[in-house]
A and B are shown apart, each in its own frame.
Chain A
Amino acid sequence: MRRWALGALGAGVLAWPWVAPRYFVFLASLILVNAVVAIGLNLLSGYTNQLSFGHAGFLAIGAYAAALLTIHAPAIPVVVTLLLGGAITAVVGLAFGVPCLRLGGLYLSMATLAFGFVVAEVILNLDALTRGADGLRVPAGRIAGWALSTDTARYYLAAAVTAVLVAGAVNLTRTRVGRAFLAIRESEVAAQASGVSLAAYRTAAFGVSAFYTGVAGGLFAFVVGYLSPDAFDVFLSVDFVVMIILGGLGSVPGSIMGAAVVTVLHDWLAAFQNFRPLIFGAILIACMLFMPGGMARALRPLGRR
């Protein structure tokens, strides 16, 4: 049943560009990008209880890193560019995570919120490199001499990268490291009493989370083709939080579902920009009240049948 469902999902993802109109191919790419961010954020917030309101900042770092690499070193294959973008973001995440160890709960969220603002400011002010508020046009990534210049090509790139990262996240939770992450989520005291180092795993979670988000940033740069600092505002960070709370904290499938719903809702609500925070805020509150485990938990009984 599970294998069958996964197969159907895979076939659907592969066939999508052949059945859907071009715009919906682009939209699906965005869903994939957001799914990777949501998984990354969930590794941090859902697994080690560190809620971040600054992931738009990590996304921006990955996006600008990938864009600048492509502009200045066009010979690098796109996959390597994405990995480098992820690695750079991971280093920033680790550097940010260490001082954050001393902060808990609300203070940590405030620090991440501030981080998001700082990143946007830095991008604005480094205009020699980033072209500041004018924005940066991202050239098509290249892979084996072939330019990814169509929506379909970029979609397949995003799908392949997402598949690898999803597999990584699912398997992470089956390893000693992943179990330690989840143990911290379940009970910090019992995790510590079992010999799990809270400090080490919390820092590691920042690194892994930033890596995922950085890679997603690179994908975002290629998919959208144009970067400007105002695309990475605090509302985007809040959207990511909505994705994981709606989808389910600590759940990889939940992250993907949450990302899909929020991305599609965004698209539908494009004409009602001013109501966006209102609607998403309402979703957030409703989830916490009526569906604390998110869609992942609400749908679990169906999967067991």
Chain B
Amino acid sequence: MKAALEIEDVSVYYGKRRALERVSVRVGEGEIVTLLGANGAGKSTVLRAVSGLVRPTGGRIVYAGRDITRWPADAIVAAGIGHVPEGRDIFPEFTVLDNLLVGGHTVARRELAGRLESAFELFPLLRERRRQPAGTLSGGEQQMLAMGRALVARPRLLLLDEPSLGLAPMLTREIFRVIRRINQSGVSVLLVEQNARRALGVAHRGYVLETGRLVVSGASRDLLEDQRVQTAYLGLRPPTEGAREGG
């Protein structure tokens, strides 16, 4: 399978603290790949490195055959990588519509209306609420908005950071249903989750991170049976020193 994204031996340091150590992850064209691990394992850091929000100290990141390791974040978005940051991170004082319009920052003016329309089709609720300040939405609605905002730029690869965090089971199901639908429309997905069972339910393959290192990877089916995955999922592993970066 052709690779949408290849992360090769990437290391990231926050100051002196190591967040990632020679991590390699591959996302095939049209694939859903999930990154699992406890809090502070470095999952979010992988996504932040891909979208240019942090600079790797080593290794390289190749997207659609191009080395994007040193590209600025806005160029990476324009190249087709969408990032839904952790904690939704919507613009709370903006209306729903303005949030989506910022998502269309890199989109040509004449295409914008069509892009908004497809976001509304995927999340009909957002259309009803489009004049409402985003900060007044519920957690699930904010998650939909954050995803809609990233989709307005029509990415080929979507990075999702803990989309189910703090959501009721019903909303979580809905979010995962949409992830599958987005993927079926041809978008590759790199999904960071704490809810391992759900993530492996939707993903084709998965990787498990522990304090910045990959410990195991494989097809979702195999990972569900893996002892170490069970441990990470259940969160029984004692928290490791200095690991406080929140995902």
Contacts and interface: CB of A to CB of B under 8 A. Distances in A.
Nearest to B91: A186
Interface of A: 176, 179-180, 182-183, 186-187, 189-200
B208 to A, nearest CB: 25
A112 to B, nearest CB: 25
Interface of B: 51-53, 72-74, 77-78, 82-85, 89-94, 98, 101-103, 105-106, 146, 149-150, 153
A156 B25 CA distance: 65
A300 to B, nearest CB: 11
Contacts of A198: 73-74
A196 B146 CA distance: 15
Given A182-B91, A187-B89, A193 B77 contact: yes
Contacts of B73: 192-193, 195, 197-198
B91 A196 contact: no
Nearest to A190: B89
A194 B77 contact: yes
Contact of B102 (A180, A189, A197, A200): A180
A143 to B, nearest CB: 37
Given A190-B89, A190-B91, A193-B85, A179 B102 contact: yes
A197 B84 CA distance: 17
B220 to A, nearest CB: 26
Given A176-B105, A179-B98, A192 B74 contact: yes
Contacts of A194: 77, 102-103, 105-106, 149-150, 153
A199 B102 contact: no
29 contacts: A176-B101, A179-B98, A179-B102, A180-B102, A183-B94, A183-B102, A186-B91, A186-B92, A187-B89, A189-B53, A190-B146, A190-B149, A192-B51, A192-B52, A192-B74, A192-B77, A193-B51, A193-B83, A193-B85, A194-B77, A194-B103, A194-B106, A194-B149, A195-B74, A195-B77, A195-B106, A195-B153, A196-B102, A197-B73
B151 to A, nearest CB: 11
A195 B105 contact: yes
A223 B105 CA distance: 41
Given A179-B101, A183-B102, A193 B150 contact: yes
A189 B85 contact: yes
Contacts of B89: 187, 189-190, 193
Question: Top 5 closest A-B pairs, CB basis?
Answer: A195-B77, A195-B106, A186-B91, A197-B74, A193-B83
Most interface-central of B51, B78, B102, B103 (chain A CB within 10 A): B102
A175 B31 CA distance: 37
A176 B73 CA distance: 18
Nearest to B88: A190
Contacts of B153: 194-195
Given A187-B89, A190-B89, A196 B94 contact: no
Given A183-B91, A192-B77, 12 more contacts: A179-B94, A179-B101, A186-B92, A190-B91, A190-B102, A192-B53, A192-B74, A194-B105, A194-B149, A195-B74, A195-B106, A195-B153
Given A193-B77, A196-B102, A199-B72, A186 B149 contact: no
A106 to B, nearest CB: 17
Nearest to A186: B91
A65 to B, nearest CB: 34
Contacts of B51: 192-193
A195 B150 CA distance: 10
Contacts of B91: 182-183, 186-187, 190
Contact of B74 (A176, A187, A196): A196
Contacts of A199: 72
Contacts of A179: 94, 98, 101-102, 105
Nearest to A183: B102
Most interface-central of B84, B91, B149, B150 (chain A CB within 10 A): B91
Most interface-central of A187, A189, A192, A193 (chain B CB within 10 A): A193
Contact of B72 (A176, A189, A190, A197): A197
B187 to A, nearest CB: 16
Given A179-B101, A195-B78, A197-B72, A190 B53 contact: no
Most interface-central of B51, B73, B103 (chain A CB within 10 A): B73
B94 A186 contact: yes
Nearest to A187: B89
Contact of B105 (A186, A187, A189, A196): A196
A195 B105 CA distance: 6
A298 to B, nearest CB: 15
Contacts of B74: 192, 195-198, 200
Contacts of A176: 101, 105
A199 B101 CA distance: 20
A213 B197 CA distance: 57
B102 A191 contact: yes
A198 B73 CA distance: 9
